[in-house]
Structure 1
Amino acid sequence: MERSSAPADPATNIVSRVYGPIGHIELDRPSKLNALTLGMLTELTRVLSAWAEDSSISLVLLTGRGERAFCAGGDIADFHRAVTTGKHQEFLDLLSLEFDLDYLISTYPKPLISLAHGITMGGGVGLASHAPVRLVTQSATMGMPEAKIGYTPDVGGSHLLANAPGHFGEYFAMSAASFKGADAVYLGFADVVVTDSFAQNILDELDEFVGLSAGEIISAIEVLHGAQESYALELSQGWVDHAFSADTPSQVLERLEQMVHPAARQAAETLLANSPSSVSSAFYTVRKARAEQDLRSALDRELRMAGYLMHQPDLAEGIRAQVIDKDRNPRWSPALMSGVDQYALRSLAEGSQL
C-alpha cells in the first residue's frame, strides 16, 4: 500500500514516494540524462533528511528514470552560464550543497540503496557511489570526466579514485576515461553488479530486505541477484602503476611517452588533449585524498579546487568546446603542463586558500 510523502514541487524533477517501510526517490529528468539542477539537489536533501528521521521508513531506494542514464552529473550548461556571467559564488554555493548531500548519503543512518545504470558520471557518481548499498548494472558507464572540460574531479570522486587498486585513481582522474559497471566493484565504485532483470524490477524485490543491515543487504543481493563482474582492468595494472606512480604530473606524462605499450601511448595522447591545469589538479587531489582517507576532507579540498578553477579560462572554454559548440577543439590556457601554476594547485590540495 503506497503512503505518499509530502508533495514536492514538480519543477524539482524529483519524485519521492513511500511504500510501507520503503522510501523510493527517483531522479526525473530523463530528457537531460537526469543532470542535476539546484532544485533537484535541494529536494533530494529535503527528502533524504526527512526520511532519515522518519522511524516508519526502514529502507530507501534511489534510482533514475529513463533507460539512458541514472545521472550524467551536474547541469553543465548552468555551470557555463555561471562562470561566464560572474555568478561564480552562486555556483560555488550550489556545489557546496551538492557535496553536503553526497556526505549525507555516505553517512545515512539506515540502508540507502543506489542503483546506477546507463550514464553515471560526475555528480551521478556522487549520488550512487557513496551510498551504504551501491548497486550497478553491467552495462552502466561510469567515470569522472572533469579533466575534459577544464574542471577537477569532485563530489568525493577523488576519495573514491584514491581507493581504487594501485594507481588507477590517477589514471581515471587525469585521463577522464570512463569504465563499465562490470568494472565498478573492482574499482571501488559499487558493491554489487546486478542483473538487468533485478534492476528493472528492483522495487518489487525489496520487501525481503526490510529490516536487514546494509551489509546484510549487500550479501543477500549478491547471492540472489548478482551478475558477473569484470577483472579485465587487472591486465593493465602494470603499465598504469608504473606511469601513474610518478611524483609529479609532468613525470607521469614523461613515463607514458617513453613506454612502448600501445595503451600507454594512447593514455599520453589523452592527457595531452585534456586541460593541463585539470590534469594537474586531478593528480594532486587524488594523491592527497589517498594520504588522508577522509571523505569530508576530500570534499572540502575539491571545493577549494573548484573555487580556483572556475576563475581560470579553461573551464568556460572546455564546456564551450565539449557541450555548447561541440567542436571538440578546446584552446587551453596554459596550453602546456609546463605553464601550469603547479604550486597553486599543490597548495590548494594541501589545504591552503589562495
Structure 2
Amino acid sequence: MSDEPQVLARVENGVGHLTLNRPRAINALTHRMIISIRDALGQWRSDARVHSVLLDGAGDRGLCAGGDIRGLRENVLASRPNDTRDFWRDEYTLCAVIANYPKPYVALMDGVTMGGGVGVASHGSIRVVTERSTVAMPETRIGLAPDIGGTWLLSRAPGEIGTYLGLNAATMTGADAVWCGFADHLVPSTNLPELRDALLAGDDPAAAVARFEADPGPAPLEANRDWVDSCYSAATVPEVIDRLDALGTDAARAASAELAELCPTSLVATLAGVRRSRQRDHLRDVLDQEYRTSSWLLDRPDLVEGIRARVVDKDNAPRWNPATIAEVDLAEVEQMIA
C-alpha cells in the first residue's frame, strides 16, 4: 500500500482544501479516505481561520468513481462483513455532516462522479458540474441499491426521473445533474482552473462560482419526462416493465432491456427505497433507511457476484440469485425498509 495520502487536506487563505488522491482508481473512496475527510471537516468546523471548504479530485478523469467496491467484496470473502458495515456507517454519517456543515462547502464534480462520489459532493452547499461530468447512482448494476443519501436526491428529482435513474443506473450529464437537483451550477471545464484559483485566493465562494458559470442549457433527460413519468410511476418493478414494453418506443424498449440485465433484488429494493424516501422529511432518516438496506443486501449473494462480474472478472454476466423479479420477496423488502 502506498504511503501517499489518499486525501490531501490543507488550509490556504482561509479555505479548507480537500483533494481526493487516488487518481488511478478515479479517486474511489476507501474507509481511510472517509475518516480523513471527516477528521478534517471536524477540525475546520470550529477553526475561525477557515471560512469555506473546497473538494476536488486528483487526476483528469473525475472527482470520484464511488466507493472502493473491490475492498467491500474482499471483506465479505474474508468473512469480515462488519468491516464493510463500519465503512458504510462512517460514510453515511459523513454525508449528514456535509449536508449540515456550517460553512460553504464547494464540490467540483468534474468528470466521473458516481455513487460515493455523489455522497461527498451532492450534499454540499455549492455543487459545481462541467460539460465533462457524468453523474450516476449505478448500484443496481452490482447488486446494491442507491445509498449515501442517493434515494433522498433521487426521490426529489422532477417527476419519476429519479426512479428511472435509480432503477436503470442511468447516467446524467452536467445539465441533467443541475435539472435533477444533484448540482447547482455548471462551469465550463476550461474555466475550472480559474475558478479553483479564485476560491483558493479566498474569494467569496458564491460570487466566484457566479463569475465563471454558464447556462447549462436544456437537460437531455427532460425530453424523456413524459414517457418516464408514465412508465415509472407504476407501483412495482414488473408493472414498470410492462408499461415500457406496452409503450414500445425505442427508448422504452432500451430501458426495459436494461432492467432485464440488472439485479432483481436490487431493483425491488431501489423502487421501495425511493418511494419511502419521498415520505421522509430528514436526510438522516433516509441514511438510516439506506444503511438497513445496504446491510441487508450485504448478507445476500448478489453483491459479491455483481462486483465479480462487473469489476473483477469483467465478464458482465452476473448470476443473480434470485434470477427473476418474480422470485423476489416483496414483503421482505418492504419490511426491511420500514
Does the alignment reach a TM-score above 0.5? Answer: yes
Q: What's the counterpart of residue 339 of structure 1?
A: 327
**In the TM superposition, what whole-angstrom CA distance separates every residue of 1:281-315 from its partner, at most 9, and x where no partner exists?**
11011111111132111111110011110111111
How far residue 209 of structure 1 moved from its aligned partner, in angstroms, is: 6.4
Using the TM superposition, name which of 341-350 and 27-36 deviates more.
Answer: 341-350
State the one-letter code of the partner of 1:41: I
How far residue 231 of structure 1 moved from its aligned partner, in angstroms, is: 2.3
1:305 maps to which of 293, 296, 299: 293
Give the unaligned 5+ runs of structure 2. Answer: none
How many equivalent pairs are there? 337
Q: What's the counterpart of residue 37 of structure 1?
A: 30
Residue 107 of structure 2 corresponds to residue 119 of structure 1? no
Cα 1:202–1:42 change in 2 (3 A) is same
Using the TM superposition, name which of 271-280 and 79-88 deviates more.
Answer: 79-88
Answer yes or no: is the 8 Å Cα contact 2:95–2:120 preserved in 1: yes
State the one-letter code of the partner of 2:150: G
Residue 281 of structure 2 corresponds to residue 293 of structure 1? yes
How far residue 107 of structure 1 moved from its aligned partner, in angstroms, is: 0.5
Counterpart secondary structure, 2:279: helix
Residue 40 of structure 2 corresponds to residue 52 of structure 1? no
State the one-letter code of the partner of 1:289: S
How far residue 189 of structure 1 moved from its aligned partner, in angstroms, is: 0.3
Answer yes or no: is the 8 Å Cα contact 1:106–1:130 preserved in 2: yes
Q: What's the counterpart of residue 149 of structure 2?
A: 156
Q: What's the counterpart of residue 72 of structure 1?
A: 65
How far residue 237 of structure 1 moved from its aligned partner, in angstroms, is: 0.5
Q: What's the counterpart of residue 225 of structure 2?
A: 237
1:271 maps to which of 255, 259, 270: 259
Superposition map of 1:2-151 within 5 A = 10-151=3-144
Residue 272 of structure 2 corresponds to residue 284 of structure 1? yes
Q: What's the counterpart of residue 163 of structure 2?
A: 170
TM (norm. structure 1) is 0.92
In 1: Cα distance, 2:321 partner to 2:206 partner:
46
State the one-letter code of the partner of 2:280: E
Answer yes or no: is the 8 Å Cα contact 1:12–1:43 preserved in 2: no
Q: What's the counterpart of residue 200 of structure 1?
A: 193
**In the TM superposition, what whole-angstrom CA distance separates every residue of 1:155-214 from its partner, at most 9, and x where no partner exists?**
00000000100001110111111111121110110000112133123331126764x5xx
In 2: Cα distance, 1:87 partner to 1:27 partner:
26
Counterpart secondary structure, 1:62: strand
Counterpart secondary structure, 1:17: strand
In 2: Cα distance, 1:45 partner to 1:274 partner:
33
Counterpart secondary structure, 1:281: helix
Answer yes or no: is the 8 Å Cα contact 1:184–1:190 preserved in 2: yes
Counterpart secondary structure, 1:34: coil
Counterpart secondary structure, 1:152: coil
2:303 maps to which of 305, 312, 315: 315
In 1: Cα distance, 2:271 partner to 2:206 partner:
32
In 2: Cα distance, 1:109 partner to 1:26 partner:
20
How far residue 12 of structure 1 moved from its aligned partner, in angstroms, is: 4.0
Cα 1:82–1:42 change in 2 (3 A) is same
How far residue 11 of structure 1 moved from its aligned partner, in angstroms, is: 4.5
Answer yes or no: is the 8 Å Cα contact 2:13–2:201 preserved in 1: no
Answer yes or no: is the 8 Å Cα contact 2:112–2:135 preserved in 1: yes
Answer yes or no: is the 8 Å Cα contact 1:22–1:59 preserved in 2: yes
In 2: Cα distance, 1:83 partner to 1:138 partner:
37
**In the TM superposition, what whole-angstrom CA distance separates every residue of 1:18-71 from its partner, at most 9, and x where no partner exists?**
112112110011011100111111111000110011011111101001000100
User: Once superposed, what is the RMSD of the aligned Cα atoms?
Assistant: 1.6
Answer yes or no: is the 8 Å Cα contact 2:12–2:200 preserved in 1: no
Answer yes or no: is the 8 Å Cα contact 1:38–1:94 preserved in 2: yes
Counterpart secondary structure, 2:287: helix
Answer yes or no: is the 8 Å Cα contact 1:122–1:153 preserved in 2: yes
State the one-letter code of the partner of 1:104: V
In 1: Cα distance, 2:318 partner to 2:4 partner:
34
State the one-letter code of the partner of 2:332: A
